[in-house]
Amino acid sequence: MPLTTPHQIEQHIARTMAFYHPRCIDAQAGFYHYLTDDGHLYNRHHRHLVSSAGYVILYARSAIHTGSPEALRWARHGLKFIEDEHYQTRTQGYAWTLDHGKPDDTTHHAYGLASVMLAYATALKAGVTEARAGLDRVHALQTRRFFEPHWQLYAAEADDHWQQSGYRGQNVNLRSCEALIAASEATGDVAFRDRALAIARTLWHKLAPMGDGWLWEHYDRDWHIDFAYHRDRPDDLFRPWGFQIGHQMAWVRLMIVLARHYPLESWLIATAKRLFIEAIEKGWDIRHGGLICGVDFNRQPLNRDKVYWVQAESLAAAAMLGDLTGEARYWRWYDKIANYCWQHMIDHEHGAWYRILTADNRRYSREKSPAPKTDCQTLGACYEILPIMQRQHGERQAASTV
């Protein structure tokens, strides 16, 4: 069975990193963001804030995992690019995208700030001590510009002059929750994770009931579901219409992590268990395998494409629930997802994961890692799964010697 032993997962982590390193490195300007299946670079000049942060996370996690000073050096290299190039002194914010070093989209996104905060937190955890100042700075910026205390949630976007739009979304709060947990773990400051818990409570106690127990993607300024927003765009890269299977699964993972810090919040595990089973049963493609992207309000298939991060989030969620509960049903789903990924999503020739497949598992193009993909989500899943498999492997070895 694939991805079921520590050795297999270690090998997969190494092969995935080998696809990116060192070809992704631009010694003068952060990292390259556009790679084909075989690693060919097809755009040298465009940069996306989410990718720039993603590469920092990729190298910082590698440094944590391997202890490599070189990985730590490239994490610092990536942070410097974010600070020197993405950060704009005129607007006191971060450019969403850059072309030839110049901002070509200056919209301020709370999702982007959360991604930068996650990059700083991961780098700090890896040993980049100077990342603490950047972490505090971007957290303060995101709080000042986007956090709405009366909702305990973040607004999503603002124009060049920091005028917020009326759009509100759950995805930015998902990303912010992840970044806040990482910040708390890196610094020991419980205030970060207290806010993460407050976000989760608001979304799952107040908003999920409007979606019959799932989180819809899009809302208006007063956090009422906006069914019209992107109604004709079920495959939008950042804001697709419909319930997103991958986002439900990402919340499963985050609720399990939050429960480690807040064991008395029993609703976290109860919600995670319910949500996983509901989402996987509605999202699994019985005919072709894998998890589809989106379903409509009635949980009927909407976007049947197979996207890398959806599978990765689900794989991690299954392993974490299996480890937490000891229930075989989660491990059965883990094996199904792992088999699917091994057969269709993972590139065994060149390394890393394909970005997106059709419903019947064909590639749309040779573009493996266009911005904002960096495989930090697939490797993040592996880093979550690895200690679980190591512990289980140790327990089996101990039992065999008794």
Q: Each residue of 97-116: pLDDT tens digit?
A: 999 999 999 999 999 999 99
Q: Note the pLDDT of residue 396.
A: 78
Q: Each residue of 274-294: pLDDT tens digit?
A: 999 999 999 999 999 999 999
Domains plus CATH for the chain? 243-389 (1.50.10.10)
Burial class (CB in 10 A: 0-12, 13-18, 19+), 161: exposed
Mean pLDDT of 149-171: 98
At residue 399, does pLDDT exceed 90?
Answer: no
Q: Do the Cβ atoms of 338 and 299 come closer than 8 Å?
A: no
Other beta carbons within 10 angstroms of residue 365's beta carbon come to 11
Q: To the nearest whole percent, how much of the chain has pLDDT over 90?
A: 97
CA distance 97 to 120: 19
Strands (E), 7-149: 35-36, 46-48, 87-88, 93-94, 97-99, 102-105, 108-109, 147-148
Cα Rg for the chain, rounded, in angstroms? 20
Q: Do the Cβ atoms of 269 and 247 come closer than 8 Å?
A: no
Q: Note the pLDDT of residue 196.
A: 98
Angle, vertex CA 365, rays to CA 361 and CA 367, nearest 5: 115
Q: Note the pLDDT of residue 393.
A: 82
Q: Note the pLDDT of residue 402.
A: 61
Q: Note the pLDDT of residue 164.
A: 98
At residue 389, does pLDDT exceed 80?
Answer: yes
Burial class (CB in 10 A: 0-12, 13-18, 19+), 263: exposed
At residue 395, does pLDDT exceed 90?
Answer: no
Question: Which CB contacts under 8 angstroms, 24+ apart, belong to 43-46?
Answer: 43/370, 45/99, 45/100, 45/101, 46/97, 46/98, 46/99, 46/371
Mean pLDDT of 265-282: 98
At residue 36, does pLDDT exceed 70?
Answer: yes
Q: Each residue of 302-337: pLDDT tens digit?
A: 999 999 999 999 999 999 999 999 999 999 999 999
Mean pLDDT of all residues belonging to the chain: 97
At residue 260, does pLDDT exceed 80?
Answer: yes
Q: Note the pLDDT of residue 398.
A: 77
